[in-house]
């Protein structure tokens, strides 16, 4: 802001001379500052983005050295531009992205190049007049068939880029074969430079500050479970607490925390698709069960849908004041609070277990507690002879929690399945625990560290 | 299947000789048939996909004629390959996609080409040794900065492809400027062939069986409203009907019909982004309010989340048998049925209004009926002295419907806003209606056609 003020002071002196320019100039400076802030935020949010930008610059400069060094240029000629082109289009943010594009490009070029040369050999047999016609026909048929294959979901997910490069290379080879005489040499040069470009991209991607799609997926799934936990924690602390009975819930931040989970499907699917291309890295072995993350994702979203419905219910429909029978109201409220906080604990345990890659130890215990609280409440309610209309609101909330508790049981099993499939570490059971004597009136602290 | 049987009969004769090959051969034939079925289904689902495939083949064959015709080739030389390359990467399924990629490519090439030539002129001033160093530095800085800009959400959504082409072209021009002497001529040739490629793509996209992203978005939003309506209709007909009181709801198809709406956000955003690039077509004028479709989409998904919660509730938690007080149970059930069917009518009206581009006439009426039924039920419930626990299930369902009715009011307003912004036709009020005398016992049919 200081910069902006300084600028406007200077301009104020010249105001009489250019009255129209002054406000525009101020506006421009404001916009530039705003833009700089946005850029800074994007970099601060994830510094790996800055590293990625430098990596692209580095890889490009590396391949362009090819061009500047005379002996290297002599052996590859104008084909060197294909290395530059390859780096620009193949270099992706994640290792999986670069690998998927690079391998797609390399294999598609190889296959299409070979087919293109074969098409040329066949076309030559048809004489001078037949050659362009036959080449045109080949291009038409192969391009149409390959384009159609991009509509097949499996091809679209894994090989979309490869099919595009296939059409591209086949057309280029088939078309230019009509004019270029040293076709084989050209194909060889082009393939070598593309391989060199792909190798540069892969090297930079894997060895310079690598960004692993698998790791991002792993974190995303753990973060999402944490967000669901925050919602339930907030509910227990603010809505089912005593003060919450009358407080207005509109605008509470915990009622929005699950929102990003609702639309997490495309990101999860995208990352899972790329993660499958990545080699073993860190604690992620080859054939890590990536699809299990997608299963947990589906269950997390179903939870988030329920939370959205519950949040709408809490904020849209007015809460009745508790009626005369305070005891029953308190009983339902306490049970709901317990269901929420135990479910929140279970989800936090699961999120931590994924983050630390250890078998979840206490999650099942918390989930069972939530189920027990739910069963107790149901028992108590079925013994009541009647429920006053005023209690309906709280009873409906209890039904929502009931569904959430069941869903969270499902999430617990699927995270346990992930732990089994991915061989998460099993924490050693605690053998001996020290009990520290403390002052009266405080809780006893049991030190579980060995 | 007949083909498969015939094949296996033939093979059976030779079974003794190649025992291992027979089952493999059968398997292969099975797979081929399976694959052929998948391909046929993709084509049947949307025949425009077949047309698109032929369009790509056609456009490619068209630009390759450039190469075969000698006078054309002489004027553009090897640069002709850029036309082929442009067609392959620019040609998209929708007109908006092709336009967005084509314009991005054309302008990015122009800008980057000019900057590349400028960079070359500056670098030349630094002498033979300084030139490659300075060129390398330029490429590094611009590539890093441009790559970083792709993380800015606005750039990512609209100009991602343009930025990539900018990096590509700048690097190619800057790098090859070190070796190529006739830089300006090369740039001119390349730009013309790219322009020719883009023009071919646009012509084929717009004039041969065009697929408009805007039209697809329009249909998608209307379809989604229809799906929500089907859910509520099914609820009224199967769950709140008399027979539904005891029937098991698991596996009912109407409980799954809203599912595709849950994850419709990426498709809607993608289509809306492309629709903004499209020129006036059919009944869609320039500056059609595409963002309003996204608003309706958000509200539709919120409805779908509620429906998912309600469907989970209905299928997961057991429905109690109605207690002694059949009257009250029936009262709640009838009210719920009315709320569902009136809401379904409102949604169907809105969907039809979007499809026919007419101002929704009766939707508001149906939505108000649903609200009235809801208010009546609330009144009746608050007058009850007590509610038996057995009625809790039905009362909770009523709360869900309450939330849905409120959401559908929101959808009604936003579709009305769309009708206003997009100048939907207003249907003339019916002046005179003919009443046709019919046999006793049937409903009277009022012919509303003038």
Q: Is the pLDDT of residue B395 over 50?
A: yes
Per-residue model confidence as pLDDT tens digits over B328-350? 778 888 899 999 999 999 999 99
Residue of B nearest to A39 (CA): B152
Residues in B closer than 8 angstroms to A85, CB to CB, are 168, 172
When mean pLDDT is compared across A61-65, B142-146, B187-191, the lowest value belongs to B187-191
Mean pLDDT of chain A: 83
Chain B: closest CA distance from residue A148 (Å) = 5
pLDDT-based confidence at residue A332 (cuts at 50, 70, 90): confident
Q: Is B444 helix (H, G, I), strand (E, B) or coil?
A: coil
Spatial separation of the C-alpha atoms in residues A436 and A332, rounded to whole Å: 37
Identify the CA nearest to A138 among candidates A125, A151, A150: A125
Spatial separation of the C-alpha atoms in residues B403 and B303, rounded to whole Å: 9
Q: Is the pLDDT of residue B12 over 50?
A: no
Q: For A322, which DSSP code? A: P
Per-residue model confidence as pLDDT tens digits over A299-323? 999 999 999 999 988 888 766 555 5
Residues in A closer than 8 angstroms to B306, CB to CB, are 308-309, 312
Residues in B closer than 8 angstroms to A38, CB to CB, are 152
Closest CB to B317 among A78, A145, A402? A402
Question: pLDDT higher for A50 or A5?
Answer: A50
CA angle in degrees (0–180, nearest 5) for B170-A48-B164: 25
Q: For B430, which DSSP code? A: P
**ipTM computed for the complex:** 0.82
Chain A: closest CA distance from residue B216 (Å) = 16
Question: How much is the average pLDDT of B297-326?
Answer: 82
Whether residue B392 and residue A381 make contact (CB cut-off 8 A), yes or no, is yes
**pLDDT for B76:** 66
Residue of B nearest to A306 (CA): B309
Residue of A nearest to B141 (CA): A57
CA angle in degrees (0–180, nearest 5) for B259-B265-B270: 135
Per-residue model confidence as pLDDT tens digits over A389-429? 667 788 888 889 999 999 999 999 999 999 999 999 887 65
**Residue corresponding to tokens 């007590």:** B386
Spatial separation of the C-alpha atoms in residues B115 and B170, rounded to whole Å: 7
Closest CB to B399 among A85, A144, A313? A313
A vs B, Cβ pairs < 8 A, gives: 233
Identify the CA nearest to A291 among candidates A307, A269, A309, A313: A269
Best A116, A399, A407 member to test B by mutation, with max B CBs in 10 Å, is: A399
Question: pLDDT higher for B217 or A6?
Answer: B217
CA angle in degrees (0–180, nearest 5) for B80-B81-B87: 100
CB-count burial class (<10 Å; 0-12, 13-18, 19+) for A351? buried
Residues in B closer than 8 angstroms to A392, CB to CB, are 381, 387, 392, 395, 399
**pLDDT for B14:** 47
**pLDDT for A243:** 62
Whether residue B305 and residue A43 make contact (CB cut-off 8 A), yes or no, is no
Dihedral over Cα of A411, A412, A413, A416: its sign = positive
Whether residue B143 and residue A57 make contact (CB cut-off 8 A), yes or no, is yes
**pLDDT for A450:** 38
Whether residue A57 and residue B147 make contact (CB cut-off 8 A), yes or no, is yes
Spatial separation of the C-alpha atoms in residues B397 and B314, rounded to whole Å: 8
Per-residue model confidence as pLDDT tens digits over A361-397? 888 899 999 999 998 888 887 777 666 666 778 888 8
**pLDDT for B246:** 58
Residues in A closer than 8 angstroms to B139, CB to CB, are 57, 60-61, 64
Chain A: closest CA distance from residue B348 (Å) = 23
Whether residue B81 and residue A262 make contact (CB cut-off 8 A), yes or no, is no
Q: Is the pLDDT of residue B11 over 50?
A: no
Best B83, B148, B186 member to test A by mutation, with max A CBs in 10 Å, is: B148
For B359-398, give one letter per residue: b (16+ CB within 10 A) or e.
bbeebbebbebbbebbeebbeebeebeebbbbbbbbbbbb
Alpha helices in A91-182 (DSSP H): 95-124, 127-149, 153-176
Give the pair of three-digit tokens for residue A52. Answer: 């990625």
Best A144, A264, A315, A331 member to test B by mutation, with max B CBs in 10 Å, is: A144
Closest CB to A389 among B143, B266, B387? B387
Identify the CA nearest to B356 among candidates B232, B212, B219, B214: B219
Residues in B closer than 8 angstroms to A176, CB to CB, are 67, 78, 81
A56 sits in which H/E element: helix A48-68
Whether residue A168 and residue B312 make contact (CB cut-off 8 A), yes or no, is no
User: What predicted TM-score, i.e. pTM, was given to this entire model?
Assistant: 0.84
Chain A: closest CA distance from residue B151 (Å) = 7
> How far from chain centre, in Å, is Cα A221?
8
CA atoms within 13 A on the CB side of A438: 10
Residues in B closer than 8 angstroms to A384, CB to CB, are 389
Whether residue A175 and residue B143 make contact (CB cut-off 8 A), yes or no, is no
Closest CB to B312 among A68, A301, A403? A403
Question: How much is the average pLDDT of A46-63?
Answer: 91
Question: How much is the average pLDDT of B385-397?
Answer: 73
Residues in B closer than 8 angstroms to A89, CB to CB, are 164, 168
**pLDDT for A83:** 86
When mean pLDDT is compared across A22-36, A182-196, A430-444, B127-141, the lowest value belongs to A430-444
Per-residue model confidence as pLDDT tens digits over B364-384? 899 999 999 998 888 887 777
Spatial separation of the C-alpha atoms in residues A209 and A51, rounded to whole Å: 7
Question: How much is the average pLDDT of B239-268?
Answer: 82
Quote the percentage of chain A above a pLDDT of 90: 46
Quote the percentage of chain B above a pLDDT of 90: 46
Best B36, B143, B317 member to test A by mutation, with max A CBs in 10 Å, is: B143
Chain B: closest CA distance from residue A69 (Å) = 9
Closest CB to A143 among B60, B135, B403? B60
Residues in A closer than 8 angstroms to B81, CB to CB, are 172, 175-176
Quote the percentage of chain B above a pLDDT of 70: 83
**pLDDT for B228:** 96
CA atoms within 13 A on the CB side of A247: 13
pLDDT-based confidence at residue B71 (cuts at 50, 70, 90): low
Residues in A closer than 8 angstroms to B314, CB to CB, are none
Residue B70 CB: number of other CB atoms within 10 A?
A: 8
For B404-431, give one letter per residue: b (16+ CB within 10 A) or e.
bbbbbbbbbebbbebbeebebeeeeeee
CA atoms within 13 A on the CB side of B236: 18
Per-residue model confidence as pLDDT tens digits over B167-194? 998 988 887 776 666 777 777 888 888 8
φ, ψ dihedrals at B358, nearest 5° = -120, 155
Per-residue model confidence as pLDDT tens digits over B14-68? 445 566 677 788 889 999 999 889 889 998 988 999 999 999 999 999 888 877 7
Spatial separation of the C-alpha atoms in residues A45 and A65, rounded to whole Å: 33
Chain A: closest CA distance from residue B261 (Å) = 12
């Amino acid at each position: 802001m200081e910069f902006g003020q300084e600028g406007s002071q200077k301009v104020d002196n010249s105001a009489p001379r250019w009255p129209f320019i002054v406000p525009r100039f101020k506006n421009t400076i404001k916009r530039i500052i705003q833009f700089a802030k946005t850029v800074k935020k994007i970099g601060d949010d994830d510094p790996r983005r800055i590293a990625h930008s430098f990596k692209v610059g580095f890889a490009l400069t590396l391949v362009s050295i090819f061009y500047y060094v005379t002996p290297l240029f002599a052996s590859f000629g104008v084909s060197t531009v294909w290395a530059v082109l390859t780096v620009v289009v193949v270099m992706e943010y994640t290792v999986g992205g670069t690998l998927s594009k690079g391998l797609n490009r390399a294999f598609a070029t190889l296959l299409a190049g070979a087919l293109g040369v074969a098409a040329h050999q066949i076309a030559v047999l048809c004489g001078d007049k037949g050659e362009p016609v036959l080449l045109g026909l080949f291009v038409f048929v192969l391009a149409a068939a390959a384009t159609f294959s991009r509509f097949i979901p499996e091809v679209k997910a894994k090989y979309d880029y490869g099919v595009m490069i296939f059409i591209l290379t086949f057309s280029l080879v088939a078309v230019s074969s009509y004019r270029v005489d040293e076709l084989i040499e050209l194909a060889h040069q082009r393939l070598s430079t593309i391989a060199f470009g792909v190798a540069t991209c892969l090297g930079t991607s894997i060895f310079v500050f690598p960004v692993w799609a698998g790791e991002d997926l792993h974190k995303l799934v753990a973060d999402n479970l944490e967000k669901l936990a925050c919602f339930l924690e907030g509910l227990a602390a603010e809505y089912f607490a005593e003060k919450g009975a009358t407080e207005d819930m509109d605008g509470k931040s915990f009622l929005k925390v699950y929102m990003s989970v609702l639309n997490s499907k495309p990101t999860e699917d995208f990352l899972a698709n790329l993660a499958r291309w990545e080699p073993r890295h860190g604690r992620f072995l080859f054939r890590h069960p990536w699809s299990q993350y997608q299963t947990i994702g589906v269950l997390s979203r179903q939870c988030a849908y329920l939370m959205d419905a519950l949040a709408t219910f809490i904020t849209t429909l007015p809460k009745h004041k508790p009626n005369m029978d305070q005891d029953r109201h308190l009983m339902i409220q306490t049970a709901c609070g317990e269901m929420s906080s135990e479910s929140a604990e279970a989800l936090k345990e699961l999120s931590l277990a994924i983050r630390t890659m250890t078998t979840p130890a206490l999650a099942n215990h918390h989930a069972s507690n939530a189920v027990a609280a739910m069963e107790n409440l149901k028992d108590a309610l079925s013994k009541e002879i009647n429920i006053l209309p005023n209690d309906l609101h709280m009873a409906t909330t209890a039904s929502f929690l009931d569904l959430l508790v069941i869903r969270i049981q499902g999430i617990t099993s699927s995270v346990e399945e992930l732990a089994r499939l991915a061989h998460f570490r099993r924490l050693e059971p605690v053998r001996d625990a020290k009990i520290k004597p403390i002052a009266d009136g405080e809780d006893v602290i049991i030190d579980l560290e060995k």
